[in-house]
Structure 1
Amino acid sequence: MEYISTTTTSKPIPIPRRDPAATGRLLLTLLVLLLVWPGLHFSELDPGVLFDSDSTRAMSSLFSDAWPPAHSAYFLQLVAGATLETIAIAIAGITLALPLAAITSLVATRALSRSASERNGKPSFVGRSLRWPVRTLLIVLRSVPEIVWALLFVRGVGLGPTAGVLAIAICYSGMLGKVYTEIFESVDGRPAQALLGAGASRLSAFTYGMLPNAAQELVSYTIYRWECALRASVVMGFVGAGGLGQQLELSLRMFAGSEVVTILLVFLLLVLAADTISRWLRERLG
């Protein structure tokens, strides 16, 4: 043990030679390794397959003509139409998800319960009977990935953007509703509870007591989910839900590397534009 002294009269301060938290960090590292190793084992992850002769041959044949990117007028017209379709799928899906998310979040939150304003107030039987089924519904909606919903809707309504819109609307209503509920329960609920205590309706308490405090977080998360919907609409195109993903899947089937590069570049520009728009909206509405 070493000692250090700041003055001639003060007592020396002992400095430990080893980190006192080293044992805890070591145990935490071992725990992480124990959790990661089964995941790597059961997922059968093998990075060496990327350098296998068959894999390298397939990738070489795909990207042998990747440059320059395809830029014929006909193909660019197809990509432009698919891009507009992708944007429309994301906007329409989020628009349909918002009403269901808003209604379910208002029912699921306890922040607008009159019993919450009472000390040690217990939720009423009617409140529990409404909230728990709605919370269960939100879990079901968001537990199934949007691409699985897209597969189901493709079987039901056929190929095209309709399946993608419905898939985003169903899945994202569960995600938005769950996060909206948490936002309502995390903001300062005293103004809303004061209005409820004064005899105001729950709608009035929400509009004037809770919504002003939660508006910024609601807008920020909704914009973020729209960005995610834009990316998801591309992925869902691989199962026939329209948009850039469907065109990309067709180009991959034909091993048209130049077309693949063009579509990837357009998608990159689309994501950059969405990020710029969302940042601008957050600054304007924040």
Structure 2
Amino acid sequence: MLMRDARDPASLPRLFVGLLAIALLWPGIHFSELDLGVLLASDSQSEMGRFAAAFWPPAHDETFVELLLQATVQTLAIATAGMTLALLLAVPASLVASRALSLSAAYRAGRPGLWGQWLRWPVRGLLIFLRSVPEIVWALLFVRAVGLGPTAGVLAIAITYSGMLGKVYAEIFESVDQRPAHALMQAGSGRLAAFCYGILPNVAAELLSYTVYRWECAIRASVVMGFVGAGGLGQQMDLSLRMFAGGEVASLLLTFLILVLLADQLSRVLRWRLA
């Protein structure tokens, strides 16, 4: 009787990939100077204990709650206004950067025309530039330009997120079956009509889900940019940390958690309505 080899044929490739991952991870740990032993030191544990104990109970006096509500509304306004401006640039840029509505792709089996490339690649380069600079850097630049306040945060989110949304939207448009849109264009339909009837119905749920996710990220980003003077919950948290008011910080963190949970539930409801 012939004995079958019981060894997994993929064991050696998996071992090689595992060793390669460790070899690549080790320099990162070394140069980042990661030292988890610091967390186990007695001084660090006692300091973390005192810091955590200051968080309870969360601040709930009337004056601070009023400030908290104002900061929350301002954070939501910064994120929403920034996303709105980002969409105004991202939507048309994604339509230009995507080959889904290319007439040359419809007629010549995917060989893009010269004019399409000349227009498409500069737009893609612009989207790369917009998303390559972190929003916190844009916020620092706009704080210098327009002063402290929410305007800097709105502009920073608008610039960075327009690059992110434009790139992902273009990839989503190209990931679906483009034959319905091409058939409409071959029949004489305009590109906008071909997009609305041939592509958009197939990607609406994915676009909506990603947009709401990016809005949630914008809320987080607006909190971070508050530390550089862009207003909202981040600026209030910076003030509370400077005053060592642990209870206020705890209330701010709980508010931030509630905002993220509400954004997640909103995304789930919208995806369910479009399903």
- TM bracket (short chain): over 0.9
1:38 corresponds to which of 1, 14, 27: 27
1:264 corresponds to which of 250, 253, 261: 253
Size of the alignment, in residue pairs?
A: 275
2:202 corresponds in structure 1 to: 213
1:17-57 Cα offsets, whole Å, 9 max, x none, are 43332211111110000110011111111122334566446
1:81 corresponds in structure 2 to: 70
2:184 corresponds to which of 182, 185, 195: 195
Unaligned stretches of 5+ in structure 2?
none
CA distance in 1 between partners of 2:65 and 2:243 (Å): 17
CA 1:73–1:23 in 2, change beyond 3 Å: closer, same or farther? same
Tell me whether 1:173 sits opposite 2:170 in the alignment: no
1:23 corresponds in structure 2 to: 12
- Check the 8 A contact 1:161/1:243 in 2, yes or no: yes
Tell me whether 1:227 sits opposite 2:216 in the alignment: yes
CA distance in 2 between partners of 1:256 and 1:168 (Å): 29
Larger gyration radius, structure 1 or structure 2: 1
1:220-255 Cα offsets, whole Å, 9 max, x none, are 111111111111111111111111111111111111
1:112 corresponds in structure 2 to: 101
Q: C-alpha displacement at 1:196, in angstroms?
A: 1.4
- Check the 8 A contact 2:181/2:197 in 1, yes or no: yes
1:9 corresponds in structure 2 to: none
* SS of match in other structure, 2:225: helix
1:116-149 Cα offsets, whole Å, 9 max, x none, are 1234453222111100000000111111111111
1:188-225 Cα offsets, whole Å, 9 max, x none, are 11111112112222222222222222222211111111
CA distance in 1 between partners of 2:20 and 2:149 (Å): 47
- Check the 8 A contact 2:94/2:167 in 1, yes or no: yes
Q: C-alpha displacement at 1:66, in angstroms?
A: 2.2
1:249 corresponds in structure 2 to: 238
CA 1:200–1:263 in 2, change beyond 3 Å: closer, same or farther? same
CA distance in 2 between partners of 1:120 and 1:197 (Å): 13
Q: Which amino acid aligns with 2:209?
A: S
- Check the 8 A contact 2:82/2:158 in 1, yes or no: yes
Q: Which shows bigger deviation, 96-105 or 48-57?
A: 48-57
1:102 corresponds to which of 91, 98, 104: 91
CA distance in 1 between partners of 2:215 and 2:75 (Å): 12
Q: C-alpha displacement at 1:65, in angstroms?
A: 2.8
Q: Which shows bigger deviation, 203-212 or 47-56?
A: 47-56
Q: C-alpha displacement at 1:72, in angstroms?
A: 1.2
Q: Which shows bigger deviation, 167-176 or 44-53?
A: 44-53
* SS of match in other structure, 2:58: coil
- Check the 8 A contact 2:227/2:238 in 1, yes or no: yes
Please report the TM-score for the alignment, with normalisation by the length of structure 1.
0.90
Q: Which amino acid aligns with 1:247?
A: Q
Unaligned stretches of 5+ in structure 1?
1-11
Please report the TM-score for the alignment, with normalisation by the length of structure 2.
0.93
Tell me whether 1:164 sits opposite 2:153 in the alignment: yes
Q: Which shows bigger deviation, 97-106 or 56-65?
A: 56-65
Q: Which shows bigger deviation, 42-51 or 123-132?
A: 42-51
Q: Which amino acid aligns with 2:164?
A: M
* SS of match in other structure, 1:111: coil
- Check the 8 A contact 1:141/1:170 in 2, yes or no: yes
CA distance in 2 between partners of 1:247 and 1:158 (Å): 17
CA distance in 1 between partners of 2:44 and 2:245 (Å): 17
Percentage of pairs with the same residue? 67
